[in-house]
Every structure is written in C-alpha cells, then in structure tokens.
Amino acid sequence: MRGLSFDIAHMLAGSLVLVSFMQLYQDRLYALLNIFALHAAILAASVAWQALVQDAPHLYLTAVLALVFKAIIIPTALHRIIVRLGIHREIETVVGVGPTMLLGMGLVALSMVIMLRVTPQADPLAREDLAFALSVVLLGLLMMVTRRNAVSQVIGFMSLENGLVLAATGAKGMPLVVEISVAFSVLIAFIVIGIFLFRIRERFDTVDVQALDRFRGERR
Amino acid sequence: MNFLALAGVLLIPVLSAAVLATLRDYRLTARLNMLAALLTFMMALLLFFVEVTPGPYLLVDDLNKVFIVLTTFVGFTTSVFSASYIGHEIDIARLTPTSVRFYHAMYQMLMFAMNLTLIANNIGLMWVAIEIATLTTVLMVGIYRTHEALEAAWKYFILGSVGIALALFGTILVYMAARPVIGEGLDAMVWTELVQHAAKFDPALLNVAFVFLLLGYGTKVGLAPLHAWLPDAHAEGPTPISAVLSGLLLNVALYALLRFKMLLALNPAAIAPGPLMVTMGLISCIFAAFMLYRRRDIKRMFAYSSIEHMGIIVFAFGMGGALANFAGLLHMTMHSLTKSAIFFAVGHIAQVKGTQRIADVGGLTVTNPVLGWGLVLGVVAIAGLPPLGIFMSEFLVVSSTFARAPWLAIALAFGILIALGGLFLRLNTIAFGEPRGPTAPAEASFVPMFAHFAIVLMVGIYMPPVLVVGFQNVAKLLG
C-alpha cells in the first residue's frame, strides 16, 4: 500500500510538470486557458491524494478550492474577458517554442539537482514532491518571462502558484494557515488582475504588454 | 495593558480602514486617517512599557519594537502630509473623491499589513502580511490611471508577486527543515521555536531556503538586480505612497530578511548569510549611484537613491557584528526619516510646478524659499554630509568595515561619493539658477518635513543615551 500511494502521488506531481510544459508551447489563448484548467484539476487531484495519504482532512479544503476556483471559475472568467476584449488570436512569444522548451528542460533538471541533493534524509514522498514543485514554479516563471500578453502572464503566475500549493501540501503537517492563505492570495490576486485588465482596457485597446512598454521610462 | 498595545497596533488600522471606506467627505477622511495613524503610533510607544509573552502568532521583542515605532511614526507624519497633498490633487481633479476614499482605506490597510509583518511570530503569517502590503501598494500605485501609472503598477504587481512566490517557497523549505526536529504542525513555523532549535536543522535545506528568501524578500527590498519595479512604482504613484514605500515598506521586507538571517546564523553548518548580503548590498549601492546621473524625473531620482541606501543598509547588516549592526540600524532609521521628508518636499514641488521633470523645475530657493531650502537640506542629509544623522551612520558603516575588510570599505565609500555627486548635480538645477515653471506659493504643511529633519539633525549632533542603549541591544540581538 505504501508503494502504491507513493506511486500515485509521484504520478500526479509528475503530470503537473508535464502539463506545465504543455502550457509553454500553446500559442492560442483559449487552448492555454484549457490547459491551465487541466493544470489546476491535476493539482486538486494531487492535493486530495495527499490529504488521503497523510490523513489530513483539512487538505481536502485546499483541493476543493483548487478545483472550484482555479479549474472552473478563473478559466471561465478569463475566457469571458478574452471574448469581450476580442483578443483570442495568437499569443506572441518573445522566445521561440524550441528554445523555450530547451530552457524549460534545463530548469527542471536544475530543480531536480538542487532539491534531491539537499533533502537526502527527508521522506521520499516529500522529496520528490518538492523537486516537482520547484520545477512547476520555475516553469511558471519561464512562462511569465517569455509571454508578452498580459492574460498569459497571469496564467503563468497562477501555474507558479500551483507549484507552491504542491510544495506546501507535500510538506507533511504544514499548518492550515498557509494553505488558506495561498488559496486566498490567489483569489485576491485574481481580483487585482481583474481590476487591472479592466483598467488597461479603459486606456488601451489592447492587453499586449508591449504596447504598455512604449510608455515606460522617463518622460522626455 | 498588554492587550491594549498589541490590539491597538493591529486593530486600529483595520477598523479605521473599514470606517474610511464608508465615508464620503474627503476632508473628514483625511483627518480621520491622521487621527488613526496618531493613535496607532501612541499604541506602538506603549509597547515599550509592556512585557508580552510570545504566542504562536505574535511576538514583541527589542528588534521589532524599533521597527514598529519607526513605521507608525513615519506613517503618522506621512498622513499629515497626505492630507494637504490629497486636497490639492482633488482641487486640480487629478483624483476623484471616490478614489480618495479608496486611497485612505488602502493607506490604513497598508499600515495594518506592515505592523502585522513586524509583530508576527509565525513565518507563514509574516508572509501573508507582506503579501497584503504588496497588494495594497499595487492598488495605490495605479490610482492615477494614467498610462505610466498602470504600467508601473502592473510591473510592480508581477515582479512583486514573483518575489513573494519565491519567498513562500523559501518559507516552506524552512518548515521542511524544522519539521524533523520540532515535529509537525504549527510549532515548526513559530519563529521563537525555530530559533531555539535552529542548530539541529538540516543545513543544506536551510541554505537553499535562504537563497529563495533572499531573492524573494530581496525583490521587495529593492536590491539590484531585482529592483526594476521600484523606480516606476515610486515615480508614478501618489507622492505620500512613494514616501511610505521608500521609508517603510522596504524596511519591512528587510526586517523579514533579517529574521531569517538570524535563524541561519544560529546553525553552525549552514552557509554564512553575511557575504551574500554584502555582495548584493554593494552591487545595489554602486549600481544605483551611477544610475542617479541619468535621471530626468525627480521622484525617479530619489527612488534610485533609496536603492542605494537600502544597499548600504543590507551591506551593514551583512557585515554583522555589534558595531556594523548598530550602524545599519541607525542608517535605516535615518534613511527612513530623511527620504520620506524629501518625498514630502518633492510632492509639493511637483504640485507647484505641475511636473516631475527635473528640466522644468528650477530656482526653487528663489521662488519657493521654504520648499527649496527644505529640499536642499534633505539632499545634504541624504548625501551624507555632516552634521546630519546619515553622515554619522555612513561613517560608522564605512569605518567599522575598514577594520575588517578595507577593500570592501573602499568600494562602499566609492559608491557613496558617486551618489553624492549625482545628487548635487541635479540639486543644482532644481534649487538654484534661473527660476523655471509656475511660481505660485505652495499650500503645504511643512511641519512633517521639518520635524523629520529636526530629528535627523539632532541625531547627527547628539544621540540621546536611551537611543544608543536601545540600538546596542538590538544590534546584539542581530548577532
């Protein structure tokens, strides 16, 4: 039983990394949103599995939050925003798909090297989870760096947060305070983002961050 | 008494945020904002007279008392400045009464979040509080809704969130390191527990955790090369927020970093956090000093000056030891007071002249003598000339470093001198020479600005023994 529970947790965390990779090469916003919903759903499954294995019922709450907010409500809302703004066309990436994927692989390798080396005496489940979580965090960062579109940057940020939740649930017995706060902060972040998109829309006819870049720097 | 002080520092800001959000009249809310900030400051002073036993969530010790009193004091003086600043912004219709209502509520939320960060005994709670502080300031930076303000707020939001995410990962790693020793559950996140058992933690895990925490909270401190959000956020938001950002929020993030530094210092097998901090501090100081020369925007220039000074402070704490810590603490206090006072002056200057462009501001000492000479005094202070307080603290930082690592001291002194040159170059155009731009007298309250300068001057000439002993105790605590 011990072996099976480990394998399932491992598989779920691993698929989270895989889905993070899938996000990297999506070049349409709708597809990206769907993949993000999948990402959040897998996270929910992974958290629920941890709740079962660790016998920590409060983690179910985190799982439900992940499923309801991140996999359903947020993608739906962003979908609407995209429709309303009429920006469902292609996403422009700063770096090409090939180099991005290579960079992503490098980041995953890096996080494996760091995390597996420093946690030799931790229990294997937490170890692997932490390594995967760091990969997801770094891939989320990579996505934020390589995208120009404000919506896809937000999605990158949210998948980064998913990695953090994975890490927090993998750390056995981590107090509830943090889980709630993580979920809560995502919610707040979303509200903030909503306001921002609304305001950006007020001033510009695009949510392309490059268009914002024109105004950067000092007024001459 | 205990409860009163603790509750006052946290509950007064929260409750007044709720009240301010419901009131319409902006003159009334500005006054209430001042009153709430004053009450919070008095409650913070009360902390010196009470003994609070640390609980699982809250902690009061010598270190955070200093930070809390500084935060609430500058919070109060800034609210006084803010009242006159906001009045003018409404007169020229840059802000609507609705957004001012929102602004005052957010101001108190920010005060709450900063106090909570400082008083938290739980590293998870501390993280949450810093997150709240970031979100409230993001909203306030974007309040003018101009192109520049929106972009600055967006940039701040994205970079700040990434920093905060990295800090959370570091926090989780600290918990992972503590769990085998302290056991599962709440205790493994309580700072006082962590400190007691730090020597037995797994050093490798702590090392990685500290790197994440340094990068994460370092972003919020504004250390180069993670500083990109800082100049934009300072330049485009309302000036009272620039004052609070520079004077307080950077310190609060630094405080979080210091707590983790103390944790690492207690574990003999972990890396020494000092050299990492010294490196980042020195890079920030020298980099920002050079950046001062090419600034065209007055608020942006002082934002770079803040990066420079945070670099010096982080450098001092990174060197460690009783004297360098004392110097770092003193420098932090002096910088908070001076920089916020400078932003008070700059806010009124920008209102009088209707622009923040340095090229459009000139001859201030002739047209607006009080404001002009106030700014001159501020720049003299921030550049580190005697007899003001920053000279004292910079002298202490450099001289204490000289005894231990002469080359580092020379590099630091080089950075400080470069910055001095840059600041005076611009000051010359702004304060002296041919008057440029509108010359209407400023409807300003100069009391907060000169109150800050008076303290800075007093410390430069004579430091009261109470202050010296207090800072010495904290410096010992910092190790």
Predicted confidence at residue A216, as pLDDT, reads 46
Query: How many interface pairs between A and B have CB atoms less than 8 angstroms apart?
Result: 130
Contacts of B202 in chain A (CB under 8 A): 118-119, 121
Q: Is residue B157 part of a domain?
A: no
Whether B382 is covered by a domain: the verdict is yes
Cα–Cα dist B302/B448, whole Å: 18
Query: In A, which residues are within 8 Å of B207 by CB distance?
Result: 118
Q: Looking at CA atoms only, how far is residue A156 from chain B in angstroms?
A: 10
Contact A209 B154 (CB under 8 A): yes
Give tens-digit pLDDT for A159-211: 888 888 888 888 777 775 455 556 556 655 655 565 555 555 544 445 555 55
**pLDDT at residue A213 greater than cutoff 70:** no
Is residue A149 included in any domain, yes or no? yes
Confidence of residue A215 (pLDDT cuts 50, 70, 90): very low
Q: Tokens 């090419």, residue?
A: B294
Distance CA A114, CA B24 (A): 54
Is the confidence at residue B21, as pLDDT, over 70? Answer: yes
Residue A219 covered by a domain: no
The whole domain housing B361 covers: 273-479
Listed by number, the residues of chain B in 125-164 with a beta carbon closer than 8 Å to a beta carbon of chain A are: 125, 127-128, 131, 135, 138-139, 142, 145-148, 150-151, 153-154, 157-158, 161-162
Q: Which of A170-174, B138-142, B234-238, B256-260 has the lowest mean pLDDT?
A: A170-174
Phi first, then psi: give them for residue B283, nearest 5 degrees: -60, -45
pLDDT in tens, B72-130: 999 999 999 999 999 888 888 888 888 898 899 999 999 999 999 999 998 988 988 99
Domain count, chain B: 1
Contact yes or no for B104/B33 (Cβ under 8 A): yes
User: CB B382: neighbour CB atoms within 10 A?
Assistant: 25
Paired tokens of B215: 């990068």
Long-range contact pairs involving A65-71 (C-beta distance under 8 Å, separation at least 24): A65/A183, A66/A40, A66/A162, A66/A165, A66/A183, A67/A40, A67/A41, A69/A183, A69/A186, A69/A187, A69/A190, A70/A36, A70/A37, A70/A40, A70/A43, A70/A44, A70/A158, A70/A162, A70/A186, A71/A37, A71/A38, A71/A40, A71/A41, A71/A44
Taking the CA atoms of residue B220, residue B223, residue B229 and residue B235 in that order, the dihedral angle to the nearest 10 degrees is 100
| Region of residue A175 (phi > 0: left; psi between -120 and 50: alpha; otherwise: beta) | beta
Decide if B154 and A173 are in contact by the 8 Å CB cutoff.
no
Strand partners, A28: A90
The pLDDT value given to residue A197:
59
**Helices B250-265/B147-182 angle, 10° precision:** 20
pLDDT at residue B333, rounded to an integer: 95
**Cβ–Cβ gap B185/A199 under 8 Å:** no
Is A60 inside any structural domain? yes
For B36-57, what is the mean pLDDT?
88
A180 is a domain residue: yes
pLDDT of A89 reads 65
Burial of B467 (0-12, 13-18, 19+ CB in 10 A): middle
pTM (2 d.p.): 0.91
- Whether residue A220 lies inside any domain: the answer is no
Domain contains A218: no
Tell me which chain A residues have a C-beta less than 8 angstroms from the C-beta of B357: 219
Q: What is the 3-state secondary structure (H, E, C) of chain B?
A: CHHHHHHHHHHHHHHHHHHHHHCCCHHHHHHHHHHHHHHHHHHHHHHHHCCCCCCCCECCCHHHHHHHHHHHHHHHHHHHHHHHHHHHHHHCCCCCHHHHHHHHHHHHHHHHHHHHHHHECEHHHHHHHHHHHHHHHHHHHHHHCCHHHHHHHHHHHHHHHHHHHHHHHHHHHHHHHHHHHHCCCHHHHEHHHHHHHHHHCCHHHHHHHHHHHHHHHHHHHCCCCCCCHHHHHHHHCCHHHHHHHHHHHHHHHHHHHHHHHHHHHCCCCCCCHHHHHHHHHHHHHHHHHHHHHHCCEHHHHHHHHHHHHHHHHHHHHHHCCHHHHHHHHHHHHHHHHHHHHHHHHHHHHHHHHCCCEHHHCECHHHHCHHHHHHHHHHHHHHCCCCCCHHHHHHHHHHHHHHHHCHHHHHHHHHHHHHHHHHHHHHHHHHHCCCCECCCCCCCCCCHHHHHHHHHHHHHHHCCCHHHHHHHHHHHHHHC
Give residue-wise pLDDT tens across range B151-162. 888 888 888 888
Contact B135 A189 (CB under 8 A): yes
B403: phi then psi, degrees, rounded to nearest 5: -70, -25
ipTM: 0.85
Chain B: give the shortest CA distance to residue A1, in Å: 23
pLDDT over 70 (residue B409): yes
Question: Beta partners for B273?
Answer: none
Distance, CA of B69 to CA of B42 (rounded, Å): 9
CB-CB neighbors (< 8 A) of A199 in chain B: 142, 145, 150
Q: Is residue A125 part of a domain?
A: yes
B225: tokens are: 């090369």
Interchain pair A117, B204: CB under 8 A:
yes
Residue B286 clears pLDDT 50, i.e. is over it: yes
Q: Hey, is the C-beta of A9 within 8 angstroms of any chain B C-beta?
A: no
Is the pLDDT at B59 greater than 70? The verdict is yes
Q: Which of A5-14, A89-98, B203-212 has the lowest mean pLDDT?
A: A89-98
Residue listed under structure tokens 């009240």: B19
Hey, which residues 295-334 in chain B have their CB within 8 Å of chain A?
Answer: 295-297, 300
pLDDT tens per residue across span B336-381? 999 999 999 999 999 888 888 888 888 888 888 888 999 999 999 9
> How near does any CA of chain A get to the CA of B169, in Å?
6
Give, to the nearest 10 degrees, the angle between helix B322-353 and helix B250-265. Answer: 170
**Residues of chain A with C-beta less than 8 angstroms from the C-beta of B298:** none
pLDDT of residue B429: 86
Side-chain-facing half-sphere of A54: CA atoms under 13 Å: 24
Look at residue B177 and tell me if it is in a domain: no
Residues B143, B147, B153: CA angle, nearest 5 degrees? 50
Structure-block tokens of residue B34: 């001042």
**B338 falls within a domain:** yes
Residue A27 lies in a domain: yes
Instruction: Check CB contact under 8 Å for A153 and B122.
Output: no
Q: Is residue B464 part of a domain?
A: yes
Instruction: Identify the pLDDT of residue A181.
Output: 54
A219 — pLDDT class (breaks 50, 70, 90): very low
Cβ contact B456:B388 at 8 Å: yes
The mean pLDDT value for B461-465 works out to: 90
Chain segment A102-135, per-residue pLDDT in tens: 999 999 999 988 888 887 776 777 778 888 999 9
Mean pLDDT of chain A: 77
A210 near B CB under 8 A: no
Give me the number of domains chain A comprises: 1
Which chain A residues in 118-177 lie under 8 Å from chain B, judged by CB atoms? Answer: 118-119, 121-122, 126, 130, 133-134, 137, 141, 144, 150, 153, 157, 160-161, 164, 167-168, 171-175, 177
C-beta of residue B159 within 8 angstroms of C-beta of residue B228 = yes
State the Cα–Cα distance between residues A58 and B171, nearest whole angstrom.
Answer: 20
Report the Cα B116 to chain-centroid distance in Å.
15
**Residue B468 in this model has a pLDDT that exceeds 60:** yes
Cβ atoms of residues B242 and B303 within 8 Å? yes
Q: Do A121 and B142 touch (CB under 8 A)?
A: no
Residues of A in contact with B157 (CB under 8 A): 192-193, 196
Q: Is residue B427 part of a domain?
A: yes
Range of the domain at A42: 2-213
Q: For position B328, what pLDDT does the model report?
A: 94
User: Do the Cβ atoms of A160 and A153 come closer than 8 Å?
Assistant: no
More confident residue, A153 or A100: A100
Tens digits of residue pLDDT in B134-177: 888 988 998 887 878 888 888 888 888 889 889 989 998 998 88
Backbone angles phi, psi at B445, to 5 degrees: -105, 120
Write the burial class of residue B472 (CB in 10 Å: 0-12 exposed, 13-18 middle, 19+ buried): middle
Residue A141: list chain B partners with CB under 8 A.
162
Q: CA-nearest residue of chain A to B129? A: A181
- Contacts (Cβ under 8 Å, ≥6 apart) of B60: B6, B47, B50, B52, B54, B119
| Record: contact B172-A213, CB cut-off 8 A | no
Given a cut of 80, whether residue A80 has pLDDT beyond it is no
State the Cα–Cα distance between residues A139 and A20, nearest whole angstrom: 6
Inform me whether the pLDDT recorded for B249 exceeds 90.
Answer: yes
